Amino acid sequence: MLVRVEYKDLGIIDYQEAWDYQEVIFNKTIKKKLENQANASGNEDAKYNILFCEHPHVYTLGNSGEEQNLLLSGIELLAKNACFVKTNRGGDITYHGPGQIVGYPILDIEALGMGVRRYIESLEEAIIRTLKHYGIKGELLDGAAGVWIDPKIVGKARKISAIGVRTSHYVSMHGFAFNVNTDLDYFGYINPCGFTDKGATSLEKELGRKIDVEEVKTLLLKELINIFDLELL
């Protein structure tokens, strides 16, 4: 089966606006899948979507998260020019902001021959392969989704990419956040993904220089296409 994907860069977009945009595509994808199943027509030459964007300062809480992991009051959020949104993705709290690539793949992971766990692992692998282009070794941390640097070194473990997805009928939405030139100070106002003893990092911090975000997007998209064996429209 040929699995085609349309890529779109939404630019800098409000979190809720991007979420609403995702939901429309997500629901259409599920509807089409169920129609195909009812008609016994399969999903031949199906078309899916990968969205990239950046968000203004926002803290988002997953459906398994704890609000106390946000360390700011409503007034303090306003002072930081940030907002707070409860979402329907998995995971705990995370931060999105300028200089961070947020990816929203809307894929039928069943059509890709995957379960949810393998899908998440594939997203992590795409980030790890992208980091390798910059000479950085990304790794996994047992019991925690996302990509880390030095996860086994006490006091040095730092997260460079967070993962949080939602699936229905094995169709995915939400996805990952990859810190490129992110203002890491904003992570200081939360317990990232519920951790109180681990930090956050970015490509900029690890390499000591500003990084071309468009270059990273190109590399990352290529890795996603390769890992999921997709045909880019």
| Tokens standing for residue 71 | 């360390």
Active site residue 193: yes
Bridge partners (DSSP) listed for residue 85: 60
**Which residue of the set 93, 193, 213, 221 is catalytic?**
193
Angle (CA) 8-126-156 rounded to 5° is 120
Contact 227, 3 (CB under 8 A): no
Q: Which two tokens stand for residue 34?
A: 């169920």
Cβ contact 190:71 at 8 Å: yes
> What number of other Cβ atoms are within 10 A of residue 123's Cβ?
25
Per the CB < 8 A criterion, the answer to whether 167 and 109 are in contact is yes
How many residues can be counted in the chain? 233
Give catalytic residue positions. 193
